[in-house]
């Protein structure tokens, strides 16, 4: 039998029962549509999270005190851990291919101005904080490069903190109290919005040494390093490790490249997408059962036709293939309809809720169509085998 004839015969058989074919294909279509839709949302979420994380660039390395074991929790402050200090940050600035090494302390603090007070997130930073985060100033300057250990009491306000405390007034040059100490406002940041739920505008920045004093801490929380984008990560990492080892005598710190964090995130998000696709897959199984049912009925109805085909020379294999072909085409039609349906809904969602991240990779579309055909074939095996094994004579007699 020529392939073209095979397909024509299959399509004719399906066309003879249009409604039945359409309903059975619909079962698969719903399954494929939900798989496509759910994976689209999963993948959209994936991309959204990754882009949130990479908006500062991917050439970032975070160094934190304490040693984190290969998988899991910090080993705590065992007495061998030395604090990560401002001098460590200064030293790291000279590591090969490093652009910025910014010391960081973070805490929650009350800011007061002219009777108004507000709780904000306080960052103790070096002068390069904005460079490390590629943030821009709305007015004034960022913290000046003072002596890191004796910096002047200057503060920079986030956009929201500034409007909340000063309203329409210009905060530049004003005196405010932060955690009970007096500071002079030297700059205001541009609005940045939220990043993964954290309001980047409701913040205040002061020199890191002062923040350490304010929180009565010995150690920085983090040193944030950016390196030349073209530099190989391994080289940069090795340079940082060498310097810190020389200063601390032991590896009592953890170097976490952004890239590695992204990999971990990617793995987690992929798992979520997969799990969500598997949920959609359940409806695909239901669609497969529909095909199994309809094909079983079809074999029963067409028993005498099968007998005839056998009488005029069709082999068992030919009968098997004909019915498997019907199952596959049925599933493929449903799959294609499901792709169109899922895709349209995804586009509609994107249009209606621009905030909802939706993305349909064509790879998933192909995979979904293939799995539809696979499910169709699987569902078709049992009825097709029953058809093939019919005794020609009995089939001819049976109506």
Partner 1 sequence: MIRLTGIARVFRVGDEEVHALRGINLAIEQGEYLSIMGPSGSGKSTLLNVLGLLDRPNAGRYELNGRDVTHLSDDELARVRRETIGFIFQSFHLVPRLTAGQNIELPMVLAGLAPAERRRRLDRLLADYGLTARADHRPAQLSGGQCQRVAIARAMAMGPTLILADEPTGNLDRHTGQEVMAVLERVHQDGGTVAVVTHDPEIGARARRRLRLIDGEIAEDKR
Instruction: Catalog residues that contact partner 1 under the rule CB under 8 A.
Output: 1-2, 4-5, 9, 12-13, 15-16, 304-305, 307-318, 392-393, 396
Longest dimension (CA), the chain: 103
Nearer to partner 1, 115 or 313 (CB): 313
Nearer to partner 1, 122 or 321 (CB): 321
Q: How far is the first Cα of the chain from the last one, in angstroms, to the nearest whole number?
A: 26
Burial class (CB in 10 A: 0-12, 13-18, 19+), 293: middle
Nearest in space to 137 (alpha carbons), one of 152, 153, 159: 159
Min dist CB 392 to partner 1, Å, is 5
Nearest in space to 59 (alpha carbons), one of 89, 91, 98, 93: 98
Asked whether 63 and 221 are in contact (CB, 8 A), the reply is no
Nearest in space to 26 (alpha carbons), one of 237, 287, 391: 287
Nearer to partner 1, 157 or 299 (CB): 299
Min dist CB 277 to partner 1, Å, is 38
Min dist CB 329 to partner 1, Å, is 15
Nearer to partner 1, 160 or 310 (CB): 310
Asked whether 217 and 209 are in contact (CB, 8 A), the reply is no
Nearer to partner 1, 19 or 234 (CB): 19
Min dist CB 278 to partner 1, Å, is 39
Min dist CB 273 to partner 1, Å, is 43
Q: How far is the C-alpha of 174 from the C-alpha of 270, rounded, in Å?
A: 49
Min dist CB 377 to partner 1, Å, is 22
Nearer to partner 1, 18 or 71 (CB): 18
Q: How far is the C-alpha of 285 from the C-alpha of 159, rounded, in Å?
A: 53
């Amino acid at each position: 039998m020529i392939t073209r004839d095979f397909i024509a015969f299959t399509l004719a058989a399906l066309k003879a029962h249009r409604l039945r074919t359409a309903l059975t294909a619909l079962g698969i279509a719903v399954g494929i549509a939900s798989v496509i839709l759910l994976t689209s949302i999963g993948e959209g979420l994936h991309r959204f999270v990754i882009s949130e994380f990479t908006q500062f660039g991917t050439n970032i390395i975070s160094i934190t005190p304490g040693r984190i074991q290969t998988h899991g929790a910090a080993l705590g402050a065992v007495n061998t851990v030395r604090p990560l200090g401002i001098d460590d940050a200064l030293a790291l600035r000279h590591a090969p291919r490093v652009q910025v090494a910014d010391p960081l302390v973070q805490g929650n603090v009350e800011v007061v101005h002219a009777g108004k007070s507000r709780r904000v997130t306080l960052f103790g930073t070096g002068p390069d904080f904005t460079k490390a985060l590629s943030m821009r100033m709305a007015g004034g300057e960022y913290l000046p490069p003072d002596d890191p250990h004796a910096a002047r009491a200057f503060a920079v306000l986030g956009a929201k903190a500034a409007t909340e405390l000063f309203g329409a007034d210009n905060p530049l040059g004003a005196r405010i109290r932060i955690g009970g100490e007096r500071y002079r406002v030297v700059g205001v940041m541009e609005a940045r919005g939220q990043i993964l739920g954290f309001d980047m505008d409701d913040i205040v920045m002061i020199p890191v040494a002062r923040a350490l004093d304010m929180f009565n801490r010995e150690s920085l929380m983090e040193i944030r390093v950016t390196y030349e984008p073209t530099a190989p990560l391994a080289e940069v990492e090795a340079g940082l490790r060498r310097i810190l080892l020389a200063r601390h005598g032991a590896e009592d710190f953890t170097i976490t490249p952004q890239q590695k964090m992204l990999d971990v995130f990617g793995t987690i998000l992929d798992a979520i997408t997969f799990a969500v696709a598997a949920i959609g897959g359940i409806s695909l199984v239901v669609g497969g059962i529909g095909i199994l049912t309809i094909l079983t009925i079809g074999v029963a109805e067409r028993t005498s036709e099968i007998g005839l085909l056998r009488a005029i020379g069709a082999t068992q294999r030919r009968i098997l293939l004909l019915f498997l072909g019907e199952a596959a085409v049925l599933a493929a039609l449903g799959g294609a309809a499901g792709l169109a349906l899922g895709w349209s809904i995804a586009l509609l969602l994107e249009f209606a809720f621009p905030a909802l991240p939706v993305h349909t990779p064509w790879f998933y579309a192909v995979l979904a169509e293939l799995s539809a055909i696979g499910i169709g074939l699987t569902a078709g095996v049992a009825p097709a085998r029953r058809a093939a094994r019919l005794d020609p004579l009995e089939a001819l007699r049976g109506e």
